[in-house]
């Protein structure tokens, strides 16, 4: 098992990301993305059953199970931002229980890999062996990393800047709309801005710059 050099600390915020083996696609259609979101929402709470067993339960019982944690228990971690991309995933996560970040990533990657391999008739590992977790050290870093995560679909030319808010597989829309948030906790990052529109402007104003950086990042990063 890979060894993590720097331990993950409760209450700290981490930029968590992982990519697929050999950069192969891990989301091939809408159903794949939707399953990933369902898994993230499920495993951010502590459960006594696996998601595969949960999916086989009658719909009424599934609803009761999903509602029960939000009423009587808090999530084991906070997800401040996320973005699902064709061959990698990004999260901003604050663990609030011991080992909760590692458990989420372990359970999510295992369950999604099992689903993907079965659905698309493949075998073997889907994600790289160890996810990366970079601790956020200052407030300015936090808001800039959130912007970087939300701009990923633009940087990779999946959508243009004008339609970024329509990208359904990130938390950017949670930051723009006042609605019940199922997965994302937006309060901390939005507290640095006067309004949701100011945060939107903060993100979109750097879209072209980030796209240019994305073209050369292979020359800078491993």
- Residue 70 is predicted with a pLDDT of 54
Nearest by Cα to 100 from 157, 44, 47: 44
- Tell me which DSSP letter residue 111 carries: H
* Bridge partner residues of 83 (DSSP): 90, 170
Output the pTM of the full model. Answer: 0.85
pLDDT tens-digit profile of 129-168? 889 999 999 999 999 999 999 999 998 889 998 999 999 9
Instruction: State pLDDT tens for residues 50-59.
Output: 665 566 556 6
CATH of 14-215, one of 1.10.10.10, 3.30.2230.10, 3.90.1330.10, 3.30.70.1290: 3.30.70.1290
Helix (H) or strand (E) holding 37: helix 30-43
Give me the residue spans of the domains in the chain.
14-215
pLDDT of res. 210 = 67
Say how far apart CA 137 and CA 142 lie, in whole Å: 8
Q: Which pLDDT tens digit goes with each residue over 202-222?
A: 999 877 666 655 654 543 343
Contact partners, residue 161, CB within 8 Å, separation at least 6: 154, 204, 207, 208
Please name which of 92, 74, 84, 85 lies closest in space to residue 12, comparing C-alpha atoms.
92
Tell me the C-alpha distance between 211 and 156, whole Å.
7
One DSSP character per residue, 88-102 reads EEEEEEEE-STTHHH
Residue 42: pLDDT over 70: yes
CA distances (Å), 144 to each of 15, 22, 123, 139, 206, in order? 11, 28, 37, 9, 10
């Amino acid at each position: 098992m890979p060894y993590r050099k720097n331990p993950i600390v409760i209450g700290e915020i981490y930029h968590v990301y992982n990519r697929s083996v050999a950069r192969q696609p891990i989301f091939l259609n809408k159903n794949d993305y939707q399953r990933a979101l369902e898994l993230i929402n499920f495993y951010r709470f502590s459960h006594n059953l696996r998601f595969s067993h949960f999916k086989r339960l009658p719909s009424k019982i599934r609803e009761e199970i999903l509602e029960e944690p939000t009423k009587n228990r808090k999530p084991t971690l906070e997800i401040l931002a996320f973005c699902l991309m064709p061959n990698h995933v990004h999260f901003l996560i604050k663990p609030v229980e011991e080992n909760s970040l590692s458990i989420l990533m372990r359970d999510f990657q295992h369950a999604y890999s099992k689903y993907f391999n079965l659905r698309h008739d493949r075998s073997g590992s889907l994600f790289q062996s160890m996810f990366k977790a970079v601790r956020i050290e200052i407030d300015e870093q936090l808001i800039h990393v959130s912007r970087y995560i939300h701009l990923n679909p633009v940087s990779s030319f999946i959508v243009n800047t004008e339609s970024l808010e329509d990208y359904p597989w990130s938390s950017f829309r949670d930051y723009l709309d006042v609605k019940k948030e199922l997965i994302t906790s937006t309060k901390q990052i939005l507290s640095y801005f006067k309004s949701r529109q100011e945060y939107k402007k903060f993100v979109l104003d750097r879209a072209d710059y980030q796209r240019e950086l994305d073209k050369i990042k292979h020359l800078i990063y491993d």
